[in-house]
Chain A
Amino acid sequence: MTTGMRMMMGAAAAAALAVAQPAVAQRQVNERQATGATGTVEITVPAGAVRVTGWSRNEVQVTGHLSRSTDRVQISGGRGSMEVEVVSGSGRPGNATLTVHVPAGKSVEVQTSAGPVHVSGVTGDVEAVNRGGPMTVEGSPRDVELTSTGGPVTVNASARSVSVNSTGGPVTIGGTVRGLAEVNAMSGPVTVTAAAERVEINALSGPVRITNAGGPVEVASVSGPVYVAGRRLSGSIENVSGGVVVEGTLGGGLSVESHSGDVELRLPAGTAADVDVTTYSGGFRSDFGAGRRDGNERHLRLGRGGMELSITTFSGNVKLTRR
């Protein structure tokens, strides 16, 4: 047999395998079960992609496909709580690609790994754990709680509260959060563009960017820059080597600390606050006057004073800018 013939036969065999494999291995899914309008649907997919969509029917429907013909989707439960699970006839289930329609008023709990999770149209709580893929939540859920050990997390919703725990990948929260928007992130940028009543961010190295805070803000970071903008700001912002920029109006006491990062506060001209600046070796610049110096401390009264603003750095420069 010539080399050319061998190549042709090999190519033909490969093509035949490629065509045959999905038909042999995959299993189509189309399951449904009646349920109540409220309660919880738990969805467990060992690996694969899950798309959950709220709809107006009091019925759970699961469509999609499973990579192994020995796997199947099991739906159990009743009017309140329901469980949707990929189970295997032998060993660990393979990959699944599922779309799950649930009554919009249900709460949803999703657990998967190595695949994307997308939830939309649900007005109950959304809780998801993903060990390796991106997560996205949209619509008007009540409380959102997401845990990711890899992959980006995106919430673009009108929610009562949003809580994200991530050890990798960017975290983005947009839309509206009527209560607390909370992020614990190991790395990756954290961006909160949502109009949020309260924001709490605990990050290590990723930059933190909050653009539309509407009240108390608590931020702790180590090495990434922190930017906070909003209205009626109060709370505390802490960093170690990263800089901090705060821009907006004050609504209460605010404390800003950075060891070696620069701190800049961009405040409206009419701001009324009593400002204490403490820096060991950092410089100080102010559009509001130099204030009274007392050792490493400076005290300034902006306008008629009132709200307490505390800025502390070791070597970072401090700048007060009039917007």
Chain B
Amino acid sequence: MTHERTLELLDDYVEGTLPPHDERGVRRHLMQCDDCRAEERELRTLLDEAAALPPGIQPPVELWEGIAARLEPRSATVALAPEIPVIGPRPVRRIPWWMQAAAAIALVVTTSVVTLQIDRAGPAQVAAVQQQPAAQQAAAPAARTALAAFHPAEQEYQRAIGDLEQMLGQHRDKLAPQTVATLEANLKVIDKAIQESRAALAADPNSRELATMLSQSYDAKLDVLQRAVSL
């Protein structure tokens, strides 16, 4: 996504109201653009101060409850209501592992999974929550490579993918064989892309472009899995 377009969409992005394609485009641009990231930080700060985010958006599909429940212990210090979507289909804001990615790659600690939960949980719970992954990222040395900086985001990706694969496994027999075959064939294509990007990034660990490409491949896998479990 372009710089100009990102700025146009940034308000909605921060509000979490963008459709998935736009959301993904903005997220990727943020990983590469210092100016837009600064703009995003300002917007989020304003929102934090105004405590303007609406609480308790209901997840539209009960499928996501399992993931929400599994992720909940990681923010155990927050009284996270079960209906708060940690991950979910459109238009609910998904788990912002991308924020960790953006923050990590840019070596800027801005937000995290927990920060979003803070936005929703209210100021009284902020202090306790800040001991969570954001704090771990804050401790990251500034000289880390893009590969090392991507590591926390990659772990989040892999956790989410594992959850979705488990959910898919539970209702795989309800899908038509042709649908399963299509899914598996395309997931293999994406896995190959992930492997190639991962290997290239390992060989060139300072490449921000490769980290972005790897993130894109993970995004593609998450999109496919999310669609598959909602069939």
Contacts and interface: CB of A to CB of B under 8 A. Distances in A.
Interface of A: 149-150, 167-168, 184, 186-187, 200, 202, 204-205, 218, 220, 222-223, 234-236, 238, 240-241, 252-255, 257, 259-260, 278, 280-281, 295-297, 307-310, 312, 314-315
Given A167-B176, A187-B178, A240 B22 contact: no
A259 B193 contact: yes
A297 B217 CA distance: 19
Nearest to B188: A223
A235 B24 CA distance: 12
Interface pairs A-B: 5 shortest CB-CB:
A253-B2, A308-B2, A218-B21, A259-B193, A222-B186
Contacts of B186: 204-205, 222-223, 240
Give the interface size class of chain B: 35 or more
B62 interface: no
Contacts of A280: 200, 209-210, 213
B74 interface: no
Interface string B123-156: 0000000000000000000000000000000000
Given A222-B190, A257-B216, 12 more contacts: A149-B176, A167-B231, A187-B178, A187-B182, A205-B186, A222-B186, A255-B25, A280-B200, A296-B207, A312-B212, A312-B213, A315-B196
Contacts of B70: none
A280 B231 CA distance: 35
Nearest to A222: B186
Question: Chain B interface secondary structure, helix, strand, loop or mixed?
Answer: helix
B166 interface: no
Interface stretch (B44-52, B80-88, B91-99, B220-228): B220-228
A240 B220 contact: yes
A315 B217 CA distance: 13
B1 A255 contact: yes
B1 A314 contact: no
Interface string B166-189: 000000000010110011011001
13 contacts: A149-B176, A167-B231, A168-B176, A186-B179, A187-B178, A204-B224, A222-B220, A223-B185, A252-B4, A296-B207, A296-B209, A309-B2, A315-B196
Given A205-B185, A253-B4, A314 B227 contact: no
A278 B200 CA distance: 14
User: Which of A252, A253, A307 has the largest count of B CB atoms less than 10 A from its CB?
Assistant: A253
B159 interface: no
Contacts of A308: 2-5
B213 A314 contact: yes
Contacts of B224: 204, 222
B220 A297 contact: no
B197 interface: yes
Contacts of B217: 240, 259
Given A222-B220, A238-B220, A252 B185 contact: no
A280 B207 CA distance: 10
Given A222-B220, A236-B21, A310-B2, A205 B182 contact: yes
Contacts of B2: 252-255, 307-310
Nearest to A310: B2
B182 A204 contact: yes
User: Which of A236, A295, A315 has the largest count of B CB atoms less than 10 A from its CB?
Assistant: A236
B1 A204 contact: no
Given A220-B223, A252-B5, A314 B189 contact: no
A296 B210 CA distance: 10
A204 B209 CA distance: 25
B178 A168 contact: yes
Contacts of B190: 222, 240
User: Which of B178, B189, B190, B196 has the largest count of A CB atoms less than 10 A from its CB?
Assistant: B189
